[in-house]
Structure formats: structure tokens, C-alpha cells
Amino acid sequence: MPDTHIAHSHTECLLRLHDEQYDLEDYQSGVPRWCTGCGDNAILTAVQRLCRDEALPPEKTVFISGIGCSSRFPHYMKTYGLHGIHGRALPIAEGVKMARPDLNVFVNTGDGDCCSIGAAHWIHAIRYNMNLTVMLHDNQIYGLTKMQASPTSPIGLKSNTTPRGSYLEALNPLSVTLGVQNVSFVAQAVDWIPDVLYDVIAAAFHHKGTGFVRILQRCPEWLPKMFEPYVQDPSRIKLLHHARGLTLSPGTAKIYRTQEEHDPGNLDRAREIASGRDPIPVGIIYHNPDVPCYEEVRHAGKLRSPELIRNGLEAEFDKFTIWPSGWPPGSPGSIGSGGRPDARSATA
């Protein structure tokens, strides 16, 4: 008898191990419609690799987006996903996390989607510090609607909405995020260094709280030369490394020799680094694992028992119900003083 029990346990373990192994194909859905050379393709590859390496169950993984080129992301992930409305990716994701804190929730948003119409949601999402992985795809232009200046477009940029050049200094998503109360994780990556891109997104995923990653990504259609000087000259990229941050591979460290050993727990230095534009800082800029998550403070999911959900739905349905004679309780001819009528009572 004990031998049989052990055999069953081993079988269950093997079946569980098999179920927890996934291939890249398990996360690939459809053929991406981004332009050839678009940085979104590199981000998609990095995320699919992460899902495979972390063996994230597709049925337990959700991608939420707003509107824009970057926001087509959920279409290409064979997981749950929601292509939301302009600027509202973060509140939708927060709602998902509150209802189902057990899910792996990712957010893909663009520089227009997040930093313009969605700016208020962005600020408060950082403040709530819910356990989300947020990827800001920043190509510094509105791409889907054909080349309008975005909040992160550099001053002087000529576009369809700024034909004489943008008048304002670009908004810096890193500096803004680091100025919000309860900020817990801020990083920056570029699409043309794939191993660091992967490591940064993985670090954001493993962080308990809002992992905010700004990804500078190339737009070959409307701004083909925007990041070309940085691609061609590795010295204009500053890689951040630390025992509590990223560890650089020998190959990457050999190519990108402009480096800084930066402690991501140092908020003052993080803000200084975030304000730098040339060289571009790449890596984990700030990390504070001690900031509480809003869903834990509010005990998300713990009070949503099936009975509570059913009662809530019935309370809403009751507002529009045409009751049979003698109902609700207390009315003339009432059939009882507690509970709702069963089907026989309702049709009698």
C-alpha cells in the first residue's frame, strides 16, 4: 500500500512538471503587423521568452493595453488580454488585479497613450503600487495615427501637428515617475540591446509592486533616424549595474563600456541618472521592495467569495425585477419574510 501511494505521488509530480513546461509557441498568437524594424517586435520577443522561462500559465496571464502601435500587444500573446481604450490601460489592469490578485498582469502602453490622455491614470497607478509589470513603449511619436508629436517628442521635432517644430521640452517619464509617492521600481531599456531588455523586464516582473519600465523603441516609419546615433555609437549608452541591480554579461560589457555601478536603492542618485539624456542610462534606476501594494492593503480577492459575488449580482438584478404577487416580503400577500422565492413560488 505505501509503495502504491509513493508511485501515485511520483506520477502526480511528473504530470505537474509536464504541465508547467511551455514553449515559445505556447505564447505566440498571430503574425505581428508592426512595421519591419519596429522596436515593438523586440519587446514582444523578450516578453514571450520571459513567459516561457518563468513557465507562466497562459490562463493565469493577462496583457492589458490602451490604443496605439504598442497597444496591439495583447493580440500577439496567446494568453488572456484586453485591448482597451485610449489612455485607460492602467485602470483596467488595476481592476483585473483587484478582482484576481493571483493573475500575472502586464501592461503595454505608448508614450501618447500613457503620458498624454492617460497621464492621470499613470500617476495614480505608480502611487497605488499594485503588483503590475508596466512597459512604456516610447518611440517619441504618435505612430498609429501617422506622425503627430507626443509628450516625449524632443523640442524642435517637425511633425504633422508641429510643422515648424515642437515648441516644448520633452516630458521625461523617468523623472515624472520618480517624483510620485510610493514609487517602487523604475528602469529603462532600449530595444536594440536584447539581452539587457530581457533582464530589465524580468527584474520588473519579479519585483513585488508596480514595475515601471520605459523602453526606448525605434519607429522605422516616421522617425527612422531618431535613435540611430545611439545605435551606431555604443559609448552613448550608459549601462547601470550593481549587486542589487543588473549583472552584465561579458559580451555586453565589452561592447558598451560606458558603465556605472549604481545602487538602485539610492533615490537621489536615481533622479540624477533619470535626468540624463546623453549617454542614455539603461538598467534598473530605482528599486524599493518595501513599498506596500495597494491590493494587499485592501485585501483584494479575499472578500470576493462566490456567495458575496452572487449576492451582489442579485442585488443589482433586483433593481429591475418584476416581482410576482406577494413579493417582496412584507408586502400584502407576502409569501414569506426571508429569502427570495424559488422558481415554483415565482411561477405559482
Q: What does the pLDDT look like over 312-345, one tens digit per residue? A: 888 888 888 887 776 666 555 544 444 555 444 4
Residues forming a β-bridge with 25: none
Q: What does the pLDDT look like over 165-224, one tens digit per residue? A: 999 999 999 999 999 999 999 999 999 999 999 999 999 999 999 999 999 999 999 999
CA dist., res. 18 & res. 339, Å (int): 47
DSSP 8-class letter at 148: B
CA dist., res. 239 & res. 281, Å (int): 6
Task: Name which CATH class applies to 18-297.
Answer: alpha beta
pLDDT band per the 50, 70, 90 thresholds, residue 136: very high
Residue 345 has what pLDDT?
43
Asked if residues 46 and 200 have their Cβ atoms less than 8 Å apart, the reply is no
Q: At what angle do helices 119-128 and 89-99 cross, to 10 degrees?
A: 30
Amino acid letter, 159: S
Q: What does the pLDDT look like over 218-248, one tens digit per residue? A: 999 999 999 999 999 999 999 999 999 999 9
Q: What is the arithmetic mean of pLDDT over 138-148?
A: 91
**Burial class (CB within 10 angstroms; exposed 0-12, middle 13-18, buried 19+) of 103:** buried
Domain range list for the chain: 18-297, 306-347
**199: Cβ–Cβ under 8 A, 6 or more apart, which residues?**
246
Its pTM stands at 0.83
